[in-house]
Amino acid sequence: MPPKPVPTHFLCIPLITSASRPQLVQSLASFRADAIPSYGIHEDAIRPVGTLHLTLGVFAFSKNDPEGRLDKAKELLQSLQPREMLASIKHKSPPPTNMPETEPPPSSFGKGKVPETGPPATVERPASISELEPLCITLRGLRSMQPPSKASVLYAPPIDQAGVVQAFCERLRSAFQEAQLMAEEDRPLLLHATIVNTIYVKGDKGGGNKYKKGGGGRKKGEKLTFDARDVLERYEDQVWMENIKVEKIAICRMGAVKTEVEGVEDAVYEVEAEIDF
């Protein structure tokens, strides 16, 4: 069996903007100050602010890329019309249906008034692309990619009650899959912003007995795991950033590089190509 292609790039929605950075800096600083001493999470496992993004899919371009697949992916990205994509999705999507059955939609009655009966309200659609509301992201909560008792990756999910964010991201990913630049996935797209990943804990550092390793020390490529049940409960309703407009869609190179922002050590992914939203 041939070896599995090594991912080299990824398609993403960057989450760092001038509006989101102050929120995320504060949220991650508070998390770091609490998670390291209280839950034994190693400081190297907590991701730098500048790396936060929503991954939509990964590319595996061959060495030296003789077929120019990266250039083709860049060209495809530049040809996309994200606002038109979003408009078509919002036009098809019904209003949220996850409100409690005992509480009518807020738009149907004023505060303290008894709702009137009648036909269901219609959802107004924008008359043009210029009137379309921006796509906004809120990150809330903390979840584990693995069973919580043996976690190695913790992430914050985007709030998406109407399913618009998910549908939009799937539409973007499909464009690259249909062009055969990105492999088809055999699992649903899980939108997430990685907060903790123990793969970045170097060497044999494990942060004490919170971490579990194979006998005789950690082998190369072996993941450190830890019991995340308490920290997941503590941060179940944590709002990391709120109502942040999506500004870019990007193709980035795998492997964050260290940088400095306002005198503070950070890390970012190199952007190969990007478009404005």
Q: What contacts 185, CB < 8 A, 6 or more positions away?
A: 57
- Whether 145 is covered by a domain: the verdict is yes
DSSP 8-state assignment for residue 9? E
User: In what helix (H) or strand (E) does residue 54 lie, and over which residues does it extend?
Assistant: strand 53-59
- Whether 105 is covered by a domain: the verdict is no
- Whether 113 is covered by a domain: the verdict is no
> SS3 for 28?
helix
> Distance (Å, rounded) from C-alpha 51 to C-alpha 200?
13
- Whether 3 is covered by a domain: the verdict is no
Q: What is the pLDDT of residue 131?
A: 62
Tens place of pLDDT per residue across the chain (277 aa): 567 778 999 999 999 999 999 999 999 999 999 999 999 999 999 999 999 999 999 999 988 877 889 999 999 999 999 999 999 887 665 544 443 333 333 333 233 333 343 444 334 454 455 567 889 999 999 999 999 999 999 999 999 988 999 999 999 999 999 999 998 887 899 999 999 999 999 865 544 445 554 434 456 667 799 999 999 999 999 999 999 999 999 999 999 999 988 888 899 999 999 999 8
Residue 143 structure tokens: 């979840």
- Whether 218 is covered by a domain: the verdict is yes
- Whether 116 is covered by a domain: the verdict is no
Write out the residue range of the structural domain in which residue 90 sits. Answer: 9-94+128-276
Residues β-bridged to residue 201: none
Q: What is the pLDDT of residue 97?
A: 44
Residue 154 structure tokens: 């913790």
The model carries a pTM of 0.81
CB 257, CB 15: distance < 8 Å? no
Q: What CATH number does residue 18 fall under?
A: 3.90.1140.10
Q: What is the pLDDT of residue 122?
A: 39
If 0-12 CB within 10 Å is exposed, 13-18 middle and 19+ buried, where does residue 166 land? middle
> Distance (Å, rounded) from C-alpha 58 to C-alpha 74?
14
> Distance (Å, rounded) from C-alpha 40 to C-alpha 152?
13
Q: What is the pLDDT of residue 1?
A: 58
> Distance (Å, rounded) from C-alpha 246 to C-alpha 19?
10
Q: What is the pLDDT of residue 107?
A: 32
Assign residue 263 a region (left: φ > 0; alpha: ψ between -120 and 50; beta: otherwise). left
Cβ atoms within 10 Å, residue 27: 21
**Nearest Cα residue to 156 out of 201, 106, 194, 117:** 194
- Whether 102 is covered by a domain: the verdict is no
In the chain, how many domains are there? 1
> SS3 for 41?
coil
**HSE of 246, CA atoms in CB hemisphere, 13 A:** 27
**Dmax (CA) of the chain:** 70
- Whether 106 is covered by a domain: the verdict is no
> Distance (Å, rounded) from C-alpha 241 to C-alpha 62?
36
User: Where does the chain have alpha helices with state H?
Assistant: 20-39, 69-79, 82-92, 164-178, 229-234
